[in-house]
């Protein structure tokens, strides 16, 4: 492996000994293993947030002349902070450490060849009293890498020169050329790094989506959880006609969550491949689209909750589960919030898996494809209400400008498109306009939890897909798919809002507030408050401030967590399609940092390479 050491002192302190990061740091993607993204910091308040200004900027591209504007790689990553060191994976094949107070680079590690750090972030392990803190991550090409957090050098004793090749024969399902890599950070439980994987969405057969735990000290495999039960294992019979064999998907491509006190890991598992057709894998298909609780030390199954039966819509559990405490009927219930792309929020007892507010198996439309057997019902939570649009009628085309309306109506007429109802299967004889589409609902970042207010705060998109199933010459199924928007203006075709920020009172299951998130600058004055698609989530602070970028309108915003009032907006050069962090610098100031490069699945202009840190004036 190739390592590059760059400018800056490599002094050990404060990272030479085992160091549990203080709560004023941000040592995990979700701030802590519970995933709530709640910081105890209070320096920035609803009263002074409007005074925030850029404190420093770090440019991730080491050779700026090599990337033309608009063609640079984009980033959706979230940095970590521990001991005044900020750790960042970049889209230029590097992991870097910065002084969290000044933004000065301390060290850089270069991955070999075209390999990259995971798209969404790294993992910090605080050490065990004998070994120093480490930065651990799975690469996009399937390597598990550990670095000394103080120096960036490959961690001694971990695999071979700090690297473990994780494409084992078992995980590759006998298909060594299938895609297998990592897109999200691992979760730490004691000395274990628990991590899912990214696999292909097509073809159907490929690498396994099993979740594995690795010893952070040695790189040795500690346990494997089979996300598709093998013969002889419980729930194997939910796969009919041997549809489980070499089946890909059913993976945890996003962050998982750990209840460190109880020693439970919660796995948000995705759909099987191919994720729009299930005629070759009939049945409920456990543990696809399920939240599975396992013993974090052993991987032993504890319980599961399936949010979508026999998924033929790509409605993955695509957001990190969030640990909550629900106050209901005079009791405190240890709970967990989990969402899928359909924007259904399930609040479950995290010890038993039972819904806190009830779930009703609700009849849904049958499949029009003869070889497909859609589940006759789907679980719908009694509370809260669905947090994004779930159907579309042709009368709901946007009426914002005559040109936009005409372009959208022409798309519908030319494509012979029809609307859809909730959980309506995709047809093969015409195109359907489906909500939510494959980009949610909520996107991968999910929500944040303010335990002081009892509010779960999450951004969701009203983004539709135009889809149709297509049978190929070899008998396999594929699909045509496109966003339901006018390509010329990048404006969705349905009546706004197109993006929202919503707060759910977890003690009652009711909506506390909801606001449009984002503006459409190209519309006439008075029509711009449409909300915008977003990619990246919110964080919350003890002072009652919610920070979020995400939107494709190139803004970074602060809201009053209690009311949803917008407190501050900063116009960025490129959109921040990433989740921010907040932490206390060595100088005692509270910083808020976010990566802003544009791009992402939303297709907003790309060209930035900035990590920006904001603070109040000195």
The domain spans of the chain are 43-76+455-460+497-618, 391-434+463-495
At 21, the pLDDT band (50, 70, 90 cuts) reads: confident
Strand partners, 89: 95
Indicate whether 326 pLDDT > 80: yes
Q: Does 411 have pLDDT greater than 90?
A: yes
pLDDT band at 17 (very low <50, low <70, confident <90, very high): very low
Q: Which residues contact 467 (CB under 8 A, 6 or more apart)?
A: 276, 426, 431, 432, 434, 437, 479, 480, 481
Instruction: Tell me the percentage of the chain whose pLDDT exceeds 90.
Output: 91
**pLDDT tens profile 428-455:** 999 999 999 988 899 899 999 999 999 9
Alpha-carbon gap, residue 516 to 564, rounded angstroms: 10
Mean pLDDT value across the chain = 94
Q: Which two tokens stand for residue 127?
A: 């050490």
- Sequence-ordered strand ranges (E) for 5-51: 38-39
> Is residue 436 reached through a cis peptide bond, with omega within 30 degrees of 0 on the bond before it?
yes
- pLDDT at 419 > cutoff 60: yes
User: Is 96 a residue whose pLDDT tops 50?
Assistant: yes
Lowest mean pLDDT among 33-42, 368-377, 470-479, 556-565: 470-479
Helix (H, G, I), strand (E, B) or coil at 30: coil
* CA 570 and chain centroid, separation: 24
Asked whether the beta carbons of 355 and 347 are under 8 A apart, the reply is yes
pLDDT of 3 > 60? The answer is: no
- Report the pLDDT value the prediction gives residue 5, as an integer from 0 to 100: 40
CA atoms of 436 and 15, how far apart (whole Å): 45
Closest among 526, 455, 539, 456 to 496, alpha carbons compared: 526
67 confidence band (pLDDT: 50, 70, 90) = low
Report residue 124's pLDDT band, with 50, 70 and 90 as the boundaries.
very high
**Which residues lie below 8 Å from residue 163, measured CB to CB, with a gap of 6+?**
1, 143, 144, 145, 154, 219
Can you tell me the mean pLDDT for 182-186? 98
Residues 70, 607: contact at Cβ < 8 Å? yes
pLDDT score at 4: 43
Q: Can you give the pTM of this predicted structure?
A: 0.96
Question: Are 38 and 29 in contact, with CB atoms under 8 Å apart?
Answer: no
Average pLDDT over residues 398-414: 97
Report the pLDDT averaged over residues 251-271. 98
pLDDT of residue 388: 97
| pLDDT value for 340 | 94
Task: Identify the pLDDT of residue 64.
Answer: 83
**Residue 552 pLDDT > 60:** yes
Which pLDDT score is estimated for 70?
46
Coil, helix or strand at residue 236: helix
Distance (Å, whole) CA 618 – CA 613: 14
The reported pLDDT for the residue numbered 71 is 60
Q: Is residue 146 within 8 Å of residue 155, measured between CB atoms?
A: yes
- Torsion, Cα of 112, 117, 119, 120 (10° steps): 180
Beta-carbon contacts of 548 under 8 Å, excluding residues fewer than 6 positions away, are: 459, 501, 517, 534, 536, 537, 538, 539, 556, 557, 559, 580
What beta strand segments (E) does 216-344 contain? 221-225, 257-259, 264-268, 290-295, 301-306, 322-328, 331-339
Q: Is the pLDDT of residue 392 over 80?
A: yes
Split at pLDDT 50, 70, 90, the class of 366 is very high
- Is residue 150 within 8 Å of residue 8, measured between CB atoms? no
pLDDT over 50 (residue 2): no
Q: For residue 304, what pLDDT band results from cuts at 50, 70 and 90?
A: very high
Q: Which of 235-239, 253-257, 265-269, 599-603 has the lowest mean pLDDT?
A: 599-603
Q: Which helix (H) or strand (E) covers residue 109, if one does?
A: strand 105-110
Does residue 13 carry a pLDDT above 70?
Answer: no
Residue 7 banded pLDDT, cuts 50, 70, 90 = very low
What would the DSSP string read from start to end of 545-575?
Answer: EEEE--BTTSEEEEEETTT--EEEEEE-SS-
Residues of the chain above pLDDT 70, percent? 96
């Amino acid at each position: 492996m190739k390592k590059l050491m760059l400018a800056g002192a490599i002094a050990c302190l404060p990272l030479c000994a085992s160091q549990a990061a203080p709560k004023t740091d941000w040592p995990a993607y979700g701030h802590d293993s519970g995933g709530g993204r709640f910081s105890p910091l209070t320096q920035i308040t609803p009263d002074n947030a409007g005074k925030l200004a850029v404190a420093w900027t770090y440019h991730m591209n080491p050779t700026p002349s090599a990337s033309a504007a608009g063609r640079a790689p984009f980033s959706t990553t979230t940095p970590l902070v521990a001991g005044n060191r900020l750790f960042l994976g970049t889209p230029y094949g590097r992991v870097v450490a910065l002084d969290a107070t000044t933004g000065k680079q301390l060290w850089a590690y270069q991955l070999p060849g075209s390999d990259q750090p995971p798209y969404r972030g790294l993992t910090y392990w605080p050490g065990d009293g004998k070994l120093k803190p480490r930065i651990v991550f799975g690469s996009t090409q399937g390597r598990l890498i550990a670095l000394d957090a103080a120096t960036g050098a490959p961690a001694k004793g971990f695999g071979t020169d700090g690297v473990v090749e994780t494409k084992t024969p078992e995980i590759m399902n006998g298909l060594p050329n299938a895609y297998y890599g990592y897109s999200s950070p691992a979760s730490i439980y004691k000395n274990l790094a628990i991590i899912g994987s990214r696999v292909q969405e097509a073809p159907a057969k490929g690498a396994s989506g099993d979740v594995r735990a690795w010893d952070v000290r040695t790189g040795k495999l500690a346990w494997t959880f089979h996300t598709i039960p093998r013969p002889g294992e419980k729930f194997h019979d939910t796969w009919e006609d041997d549809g489980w064999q070499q089946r890909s998907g059913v993976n945890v491509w996003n962050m998982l969550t750990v209840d460190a006190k109880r020693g439970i890991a919660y796995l948000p598992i995705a759909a099987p491949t191919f994720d729009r057709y299930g005629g070759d894998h009939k049945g409920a298909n456990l543990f696809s689209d399920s939240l599975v609780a396992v013993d974090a030390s052993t991987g032993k199954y504890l319980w599961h909750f399936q949010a979508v039966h026999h998924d033929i819509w790509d409605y993955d559990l695509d957001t990190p589960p969030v640990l909550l405490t629900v106050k209901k009927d005079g009791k405190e219930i240890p709970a967990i919030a989990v969402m899928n792309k359909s924007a259904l929020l399930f609040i479950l007892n995290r010890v038993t898996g039972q819904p806190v507010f009830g779930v009703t198996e609700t009849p849904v439309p049958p499949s029009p494809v003869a070889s497909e057997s859609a589940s006759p019902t789907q679980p719908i939570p009694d509370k809260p209400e669905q947090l994004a649009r779930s159907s579309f009628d042709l009368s709901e085309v946007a009426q914002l400008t005559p040109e936009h309306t005409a372009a959208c109506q022409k798309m519908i007429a030319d494509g012979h498109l029809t609307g859809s109802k909730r959980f309506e299967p995709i047809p093969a004889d015409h195109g359907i306009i489906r909500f939510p589409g494959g980009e949610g609902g909520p996107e991968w970042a999910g929500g944040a939890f303010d335990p002081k207010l009892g509010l779960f705060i999450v951004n969701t998109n009203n983004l539709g897909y135009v889809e149709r199933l297509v049978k190929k010459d070899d008998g396999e199924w594929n699909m045509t798919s496109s966003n339901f928007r006018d390509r010329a203006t990048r404006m969705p075709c349905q009546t706004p809002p197109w993006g929202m920020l919503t707060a759910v009172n977890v003690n009652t299951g009711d909506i506390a507030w909801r606001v449009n998130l984002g503006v459409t600058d190209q519309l006439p004055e008075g029509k711009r408050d449409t909300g915008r698609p977003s990619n990246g989530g919110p964080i919350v602070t003890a002072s009652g401030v919610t920070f979020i970028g995400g939107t494709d309108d190139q803004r970074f915003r602060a809201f009053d967590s209690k009311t949803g009032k917008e407190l501050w907006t900063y116009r960025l050069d490129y959109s921040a399609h990433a989740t921010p962090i907040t932490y206390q610098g060595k100088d005692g100031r509270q910083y808020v940092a976010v990566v802003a490069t544009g791009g992402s699945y939303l297709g907003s202009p790309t060209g930035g390479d900035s990590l920006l840190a904001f603070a109040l004036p000195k």
